[in-house]
Amino acid sequence: MTKQNNAVTPEFKSCINNLISTVVLPSAATVPESMALINGFLGFSRKNFTKRLEESKVNAWIDSMRAASPTRVKSSENQEKCSWILYHPSALKLFDQILYSAKRKQIVFFLDYDGTLSPIVADPEKAFMTRKMRATLKDIARNFPTAIVTGRCREKVFNFVKLAELYYAASHGMDIMGPTKNRSAEKSNVNKAVLFQPASQYLPMIDEVYKILLEKTKSVSGAKVENNKFCLSVHFRCVDEKSWAPLAEKVRLVLNEYPKLKLTQGRKVLEIRPTIKWDKGKALEFLLESLGYKNSNDVFPIYIGDDRTDEDAFKVLRRRGQGVGILVSSVPKETDASYTLQDPSEVEHFLRRLVEWKRSSIVNPTSA
């Protein structure tokens, strides 16, 4: 992942050095001059210093936006990719190894949506799964406890998935709902299935910021603000790269007035969330506990995701020493995942093989 670059300019560094050399160990004769220099520096340069810090912050955002939105691999990068694959091998090629690790344990699936179950598309409102993926996902849910863990709002992701037998951890895990026998049942039954909403008190603030961002970003061609109930997404997939900096600046100015909200980056999206200590990793732990596997050695979680926000879940799995994280990516990325898959079609292939293995193990238990 890209580290933020808050570099100080040579001119500013020189000014600081001169100030220190004059002030730190002043002689009696230089005290008045030192105080005058300090006052002058604070009075004259504070505005410029603050401006440079803000510019540095925006530049760091742009670097993160680029890092979270990789372009196509160039031929000169093939060697780097080969080296990366050695440390993050294909989950399909090492499928048997994963099965061996999961032997005699309960597999539990955690799946991101965009870029994992569905392809990344220009219009986030049209991120539909294929029929083949939906059929495979339905079979997975019949054989293993399965959760969708996404930045989307719960209602929207359900409209994409349309499977009531899954767990849904939406808004980066801030809106968790268990399976329902009939999603079209009366509202009271749906509410009973809601397991956890740790950021409910932030709803009025998030709605307020959503309306402000709609107004502030409408001048940036291609920008789209999505309200995910407990968080907001500012999509820049259709924004010219030259406009990324102005867009990030507009978002920054809005968030300056809301210190209880924070910014993170995903694939061609800026995510705005409450500052509470909650993420996809926390959601994974909550769901495992809800399923009765808090301190169990008999569970094998498999988390598949493509986004930077999924790294929180990969880190949890590494810390627990259980299960595997699988990154969906065709280009090298710094990750805590153990394995990789190239794209949603490979995800579907991997899930289908798990279904077939489960069915064969029921017919022939010794094969498991």
CATH topology of domain 201-274: Alpha-Beta Plaits (3.30.70)
Q: Is the pLDDT of residue 12 over 80?
A: no
Work out whether the CA dihedral 313, 315, 320, 321 comes out positive or negative: positive
Question: The pTM is what?
Answer: 0.74
Residue 56 banded pLDDT, cuts 50, 70, 90: low
Q: Is the pLDDT of residue 234 over 80?
A: yes
Q: Is the dihedral of CA 306, 308, 313, 314 positive or negative?
A: positive
Q: Which residue has the tokens 């978002």?
A: 251
Calculate the CA 106 to chain-centre distance.
26
Strand spans (E) along the chain: 106-111, 146-149, 167-170, 175-177, 194-196, 224-227, 232-235, 261-266, 269-274, 299-305, 324-328, 339-341
- In this predicted structure, which of 8-17, 97-106, 348-357 has the lowest mean pLDDT? 8-17
Considering all CA atoms of the chain, what is the largest pairwise distance in Å, rounded to the nearest integer?
Answer: 94
- Are β-strands 224-227 and 232-235 bridged in parallel, bridged antiparallel, or unpaired? antiparallel
**What pLDDT score does 50 carry?**
52
Are 254 and 198 in contact by the 8 Å Cβ rule? The answer is no
For residues 197 and 230, the answer to whether their CB atoms sit within 8 Å is: yes
pLDDT at 228 > cutoff 80: yes
What is the C-alpha separation between 308 and 67, in angstroms, rounded? Answer: 10
Given a cut of 60, is residue 48 above it in pLDDT?
A: no
Place 37 in a pLDDT band, splitting at 50, 70 and 90. Answer: very low
What one-letter code names the amino acid at 30?
T
pLDDT band at 129 (very low <50, low <70, confident <90, very high): very high
Residues 234 and 206 sit within 8 Å (Cβ to Cβ): no
List pLDDT tens digits, range 272-305: 999 999 999 999 999 999 999 998 999 999 999 9
The least confident of 157-161, 182-186, 337-341 is: 182-186
The residue count for the chain:
368
Region 211-240 average pLDDT: 95
The per-residue pLDDT for range 243-269, each reduced to its tens digit, is 999 999 999 999 999 999 999 888 889
Q: Tell me the domain boundaries of the chain.
A: 78-144+278-363, 201-274
**Residue 36: band (very low, low, confident or very high) from pLDDT cuts 50, 70, 90:** very low
C-alpha count within 13 angstroms, C-beta hemisphere, residue 188: 0
User: Three-class SS of residue 76?
Assistant: helix
Rg, the chain, Cα only: 25
pLDDT band at 193 (very low <50, low <70, confident <90, very high): confident
**Structure tokens of 178?**
């268990």
Per DSSP, what are the bridge partners of residue 329?
Answer: none
Q: What is the dihedral of CA 148, 271, 235, 135, to 10 degrees?
A: 0
pLDDT at 322 over 80: yes
Question: Residues with Cβ < 8 Å from 9, sequence gap 6 or more?
Answer: 52
3.40.50.1000, 3.90.1010.10, 3.40.50.300, 3.30.2320.50: which CATH number matches 78-144+278-363?
A: 3.40.50.1000
Shortest CA distance to 133 belongs to which of 160, 164, 168? Answer: 160
Residue type, 126: K
- Per the CB < 8 A criterion, the answer to whether 186 and 207 are in contact is no
Q: What is the C-alpha to C-alpha distance for residues 303 and 114, in angstroms, rounded to an integer?
A: 14
